[in-house]
């Protein structure tokens, strides 16, 4: 009896795994601007700017080093960073004290 249940389960499992998605079925997304940052209360803002990649793209994520990063507090700009440092991050002199958004 147990063997019958086990064989039935295995057959259903194999039958359910017979389909696959072709790579051609996935749309290639247009790259968008990405700003990555981890805010820490005791450290200055550090932002990495790049472009997104498609799910199927295995290329290296290249940083954007000529962007302008603006830090806002209460809807008003409080700092602008125009140049990335040697590590390809945009670093502000401000500490993240209740900053609302980065653009």
Q: pTM (2 decimals)?
A: 0.63
Query: Is the residue at 7 inside a domain?
Result: no
Domain count, the chain: 1
pLDDT, tens digit (0-9, with 9 covering 90-100), for 23-76: 666 777 788 999 998 888 788 888 899 999 887 778 888 888 888 999 888 888
In Å, how far are 9, 35, 80, 97 from 74, measured between CA atoms?
59, 20, 15, 11
Q: Is residue 3 part of a domain?
A: no
Residue 95 placed within a domain: yes
Domain that holds residue 90: 24-102
Is residue 75 in a domain? yes
Q: 84 in a domain, yes or no?
A: yes
Chain-centre distance for alpha carbon 65: 17
Q: Confirm whether 54 is domain-assigned.
A: yes
Sign of CA dihedral 22, 25, 27, 28: positive
């Amino acid at each position: 009896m147990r063997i019958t249940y086990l064989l039935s389960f295995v057959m259903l499992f194999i039958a359910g795994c017979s389909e696959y998605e072709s790579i051609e079925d996935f749309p290639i997304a247009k790259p968008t601007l990405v700003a990555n940052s981890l805010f820490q209360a005791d450290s200055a803002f550090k932002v990495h700017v790049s472009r997104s990649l498609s799910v199927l793209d295995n290329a290296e994520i290249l940083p954007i080093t000529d962007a302008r990063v603006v830090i806002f507090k209460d809807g008003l700009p409080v700092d602008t960073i125009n140049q990335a440092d040697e590590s390809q991050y945009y670093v502000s002199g401000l500490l993240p004290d209740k900053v609302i958004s980065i653009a």
